[in-house]
Structure 1
């Protein structure tokens, strides 16, 4: 009990280290629709979702107000490279991003799966290398599509999860290589949850997702440190798990 109290005192006292941010500091993150991690209402443009709430709560615990707005993924990456944007949310660590990004502690994880029609035979598929003999599609510029490109695995690209699901239903592709939770969420939205098959790739580990900060932005290092401390605080006080429980 003594050590728990000491840890809590240490975490909460750290807030004072970021007092320069408090009332005056607000940051804006551009994000792309990626439910349930990030959900953007197409009518109101309100941004919500599991990771959005976690990030907002972590920053609030150290006196920083974080807000979010919708943006295209390629625009986000370009803005982070130049320092126009301070960073983004639900971003995976990749070697090609390391030269221009800083990565926070883990916020959540994503699993990579194949979405197909129920009659698609996937018994022989265990790793991504087994996909070369099939008609595979993936969302352009997302981590999974970049992985296919780097491994020289032939594939087509779509611009959104909904387009990928439509391609599968139209039998224009054998399988859709995509992140599990966002794909299943979109399938439910389209009424396709009973018309698809999900195949896990045994050799593909869970992918950690982070808040990714721009190395070109002068505020990034301080904000990264502040966020990581805030994340520790909300994990300790139960807020982190309470938010996750609502979605998962």
Structure 2
């Protein structure tokens, strides 16, 4: 029976070897290869997109490059559609995904996340000359431009606003600017990006929700050394001012909390 037990043991070892979490994804193997493989969309400005020259750029792209640099390797970005991006970790197409992946309890059941590296809050946006709306409660009886199926639309509705349906952030902002809506509740990161691109646009944040949604760098479970190294890299990026420079470039301010 010893030969049978040995055969079973060998089969178990072989099975472990081909599992995604054991295939070229731990820290030693990444350093040996000299490359951190990063899954990203490449179509999601200002986080990960292609500029006019065709180069891959964006907030998440620069964060990924800095993390790889501090691991002592180069960043290799592998682009894919959002629907299959996280599943690509399971298939071992890359070592991590850096693409505004929200940290949720459901995802944490299957994957590990770094410490949060960016925060998003629901903000109440009005025209610069609007002093009547100062808080979410002031939306009662007012028109709020919203994507009707979004969580932001539900917040506006709960605040007593009359919803004006839109296709998304850009249209909502335009309705506020031209006076066809009194306000819009939207994502803080989208607003900061908009103001960075159009600093003279006459809109402002009147209020924001305290609770934030956070995104992290996601990896497979069972890679504690890699997770610790990524967290150390993120801390170093923040401590030496690199994070702030990247945030200023894309958003004009700190977006870590």
Verify same fold: TM over 0.5.
yes
Q: Which residue of 1 aligns with 2:200?
A: 193
Contact kept in structure 2, 1:58 and 1:227, CA below 8 Å:
no
Of 115, 118, 141, the match for 1:105: 115
Of 162, 167, 172, the match for 2:175: 167
Question: May I ask how many residue pairs the two structures share in their alignment?
Answer: 211
- Cα pair distance change 1:98/1:205, threshold 3 Å: same
- Name the larger-Rg structure: 2
Contact kept in structure 2, 1:21 and 1:63, CA below 8 Å:
no
**What TM-score do you get using the length of structure 1 for normalisation?**
0.63
Q: Which runs of 5+ in 2 are unaligned?
A: 1-25
RMSD of aligned Cα (Å)? 3.8
User: Is 2:66 the counterpart of 1:80?
Assistant: no
- Cα pair distance change 1:192/1:163, threshold 3 Å: farther
- Cα pair distance change 1:126/1:177, threshold 3 Å: closer
User: Is 2:183 the counterpart of 1:184?
Assistant: no
- In the alignment, the residues of structure 2 paired with residue 78 and residue 139 of structure 1 have an alpha-carbon distance, to the nearest angstrom, of 25
CA drift at 1:107: 1.1
Q: Which runs of 5+ in 1 are unaligned?
A: 1-16, 214-219
Q: Which residue of 2 aligns with 1:226?
A: 226
CA drift at 1:113: 1.4
CA drift at 1:208: 2.6
Q: Which residue of 2 aligns with 1:243?
A: 242
- Cα pair distance change 1:177/1:206, threshold 3 Å: same
Contact kept in structure 2, 1:47 and 1:70, CA below 8 Å:
no
- Cα pair distance change 1:211/1:184, threshold 3 Å: same
Segment of structure 1 superposing worse, 91-100 or 179-188 = 91-100
- In the alignment, the residues of structure 2 paired with residue 98 and residue 193 of structure 1 have an alpha-carbon distance, to the nearest angstrom, of 41
**What TM-score do you get using the length of structure 2 for normalisation?**
0.61
Correspondence 1:27-66 to 2 at 5 A: 27-31=37-41, 32-35=43-46, 38=47, 40-66=49-75
1:21 aligns to what SS in structure 2?
helix
Larger relative contact order (Cα-Cα within 8 Å, sequence gap ≥ 6): 1
